[in-house]
Structure 1
Amino acid sequence: MTYAKKLTLPATVLTTMMASTAVADPDVLPWSERAIQEDVDIDALAASGRDPLEILLPLGESLFSAKFTTLDGAGRPDATGAIVPTKVRRRSHLAFQRLAGPDANACASCHNEPVTGGAGSFTANVFVSEGFESADFDTIDPQFSNERNTNALQGAGLIELLAREMTAELRAQRKSVLAEARKSGQAEEIDLVSKGVTFGTLTAFPDGTLDVSGLEGIDDDLTLRPFSQKGVFSSLRQFTVNAMNAHHGIQPSERFGSTWTGTDDHDLDGFADEMSPGQISALVAFQATLPAPTRKENLPDVWQEAADKGEKVFADIGCASCHIPALPLDSLVFHDPGPIDTAGTLRQSDMATPLALDLATLDWVQALPRDENGRVLVPLYGDLKRHKIADAANDTFGNELLAQRFVARDVFITAELWGIGSTAPYGHRGDLTTLNEVIRAHGGEATESRKSYETLEEAERQAVIAFLRSLEIAE
């Protein structure tokens, strides 16, 4: 059984969940079966001048691996797994079940290959659907729920920082074209580009209205949402709050507490305020600092030669137009809450000062390459953009029947390929066992690149596989 790690920290920053009493409380004894035992006062931490990572990382790692129990509030008898607090119409007779969740005892139950925070095998698949009225599904039929394989979280902090900077740049371009339209008195159009990635066009009119029909791969609000296979979650904080309810039945107070629901026990399981903002921040810090994937070292000469050739072929056939090898990042300061966190998550306006996690202090970040302007080059092999990757001729990736957050069922965000050599199986459902299969499954906007791959000589195709297999999550 896993327990939260005890930390020796100032009482103003770290507190035990249960108030001390004159009588020994079994919940705070060393053999307690409660996994959530420590909390962090993030307002006090932000004001203390101490490095937040020193405080948050041990607790975040402990919470990520902890096996939650009913003493922590695990299970949600009267709540659904939806991201918006909603009630079930009828209670399930099962406290825990796989199809609608809670479907994991710990975050690390699914995010564990090849290391904690990594991906998951097909047996760790989750079922995602809003489920606004039911928590008692008994079918995997895709008309009721979308089945998804577990994504790796390594490098997630850098991914979110890139998304924040790109969102800010695109919104600045929107502001610019609106000002130009007001000044000229006529419609003005702008090509939206950030870090070399194009997001279509935006047309502004003198009255301040916008024509967003030319946008590509991004929502109308110009917010990049880099998490989940569909690209619908804007931050690790939002992702974490969602997952705690959907997969563990633990309701974070910042969304399910009295401020938004009028009660501190939304799911009526007898446990109030089951996870605090400080504990969510600890989980966010742990995920945000997971080392970025790297490349295999000391490969046999034959493999290294093939990988070098395969990287060039990968670019030549057009794969690198979406799976961009690296994007430049200006700032390594990860603020939590972030600038895009909104209602349902803790917001920057909810704190006197947000936490500032300086990722530049991490050894693995210092080892990343930089461009001529000193910007860190994040080797993600992605573009943080959504694309249509299925069509009538090749609908492997179009097998979902439910749209998610208004994203069409055949549209997915470009998967970051860093670490892909460590994260089989492949595809959003995890039902493709080889890299060759997943490449050949591409349709829609990726059709021409797929066809180019299929027409390669076998040695060249094997070189592409050798290159992709060299991108790993270090153990």
Structure 2
Amino acid sequence: MMNAWLRRSRRLPVRLAVVALLAGSGVGAWAIVTEVSLVEKLHGGALEHTDETALRGMRNRDAYLDAFTHGDAIFSDLFNAVDGAGANIGNGARFSRFPRADLVGNDAEGRAMWGSHIPKRITGPDTNSCNSCHSLAAGDGAGDTGSNVIRDPGRTGNPATWISRNAPHVFGLGAIQRLAEEMTTKLKSIRDDAQQQACASGAPVTATLAAKGTSFGSITVSCSGTVDTSAIEGLDKDLIVKGFQW
């Protein structure tokens, strides 16, 4: 904790100098937000990465505790543009309490707008900290009504089709995500096997999509890799199982 404080305190003279420069040059808040280099000088990134190579070199228990500790700290960090937080909603703003499917293409500076974000957004970004929404009855918990988010699942831009969702708790959700990843791996292997069969037979192959006892319809795959996804059920065309919609 002391080392972290020292790192931040050493940035203070740089921050003050940059603030003075901005004030004297007439550069406004819009530039501070959109020019990541200036954000870096003023604040630096909040996110401290964990070295996966180092984790793999630890005993399982030590690696788990180290990863958990870092993840817990990240959950309460206040992210900024240097960390990649937010999305471009124009005029230098990076956060929105409602979806902006109307903002498509690039802005005047060539940056992708909210509606052209990859992966596609259907809400927010609402805040720059996980704990801002997930805080009841403690960190990692659910959220109160004031932290409800507005979602546009169909990316219609029509408020009549939007839904409001309360922030759920996030205790123990890693197992659900891991399950989704295993199902995704299985579904993609079915697709790849179907392509090999199509090449061997010289004709498109229809394969049933199922993983962990759950059926997702079927796909038809040709030797060239073209996939007919019209018969997929309850799954995106990329075959990725999204337990949390991402």
TM category, shorter: 0.5 to 0.7
Name the structure, 1 or 2, with higher relative contact order (CA <8 Å, separation 6+).
Answer: 1
Question: Is this contact kept in 2: 1:16–1:37, CA < 8 A?
Answer: no
Distance change in 2, residues 1:175/1:48 (3 Å): closer
Structure 2: how far apart are the matches of 1:96 and 1:183?
51
Distance change in 2, residues 1:105/1:80 (3 Å): closer
1:176 aligns to 2:185 (yes or no): no
Q: CA deviation at 1:44?
A: 6.2
Structure 2: how far apart are the matches of 1:170 and 1:24?
49
Q: CA deviation at 1:104?
A: 4.9
Q: Hey, what does 1:461 align to over in structure 2?
A: none
Where do 5+ consecutive residues of structure 2 fail to align?
14-42, 100-123
Structure 2: how far apart are the matches of 1:201 and 1:210?
10
> Which of the numbers 22, 46, 49 marks the counterpart of 2:55?
46
Structure 1: how far apart are the matches of 2:148 and 2:8?
40
Give the TM-score normalised by structure 1. 0.33
Give the TM-score normalised by structure 2. 0.58
Where do 5+ consecutive residues of structure 1 fail to align?
1-5, 8-14, 27-33, 131-140, 234-475
Structure 2: how far apart are the matches of 1:178 and 1:96?
42
1:61 aligns to 2:72 (yes or no): yes
- State the AA in 2 paired with 1:120: G
Q: Hey, what does 2:211 align to over in structure 1?
A: 194
Q: CA deviation at 1:102?
A: 7.2
Q: CA deviation at 1:206?
A: 4.0
Structure that is richer in helix per residue: 2
Q: CA deviation at 1:96?
A: 8.4
TM superposition outliers: structure 1 runs of 4+ over 4 Å: 17-21, 23-26, 95-106, 143-146
1:125 aligns to 2:148 (yes or no): yes
> Which of the numbers 93, 100, 113 marks the counterpart of 2:136?
113
> Which of the numbers 203, 213, 223 marks the counterpart of 2:230?
213
The one-character-per-residue Cα deviations of 1:234-277 (angstroms, maximum 9, x if unpaired) are xxxxxxxxxxxxxxxxxxxxxxxxxxxxxxxxxxxxxxxxxxxx
Structure 2: how far apart are the matches of 1:184 and 1:57?
49
Q: CA deviation at 1:99?
A: 5.4
> Which of the numbers 179, 193, 201 marks the counterpart of 1:162?
179
Question: Is this contact kept in 2: 1:17–1:37, CA < 8 A?
Answer: no
Q: CA deviation at 1:210?
A: 2.0
Structure 1: how far apart are the matches of 2:145 and 2:66?
35
Q: Hey, what does 1:355 align to over in structure 2?
A: none
Q: CA deviation at 1:59?
A: 3.8
The 5 A counterparts of 1:342-421 are none
Distance change in 2, residues 1:201/1:17 (3 Å): farther
SS in 1 for 2:192: helix
Structure 1: how far apart are the matches of 2:208 and 2:191?
10
- State the AA in 2 paired with 1:61: D
Q: CA deviation at 1:147?
A: 3.1
Question: Is this contact kept in 1: 2:80–2:86, CA < 8 A?
Answer: no
Question: Identity across aligned pairs (percent)?
Answer: 30
Q: Hey, what does 1:277 align to over in structure 2?
A: none
Question: Is this contact kept in 1: 2:86–2:128, CA < 8 A?
Answer: no
The 5 A counterparts of 1:62-141 are 62-65=73-76, 68=78, 73=80, 81-82=86-87, 86=88, 88=90, 90=91, 104=127, 106-128=129-151
Question: Is this contact kept in 1: 2:220–2:228, CA < 8 A?
Answer: yes
> Which of the numbers 122, 138, 150 marks the counterpart of 2:167?
150
Distance change in 2, residues 1:200/1:16 (3 Å): same
Q: CA RMSD in A?
A: 4.4
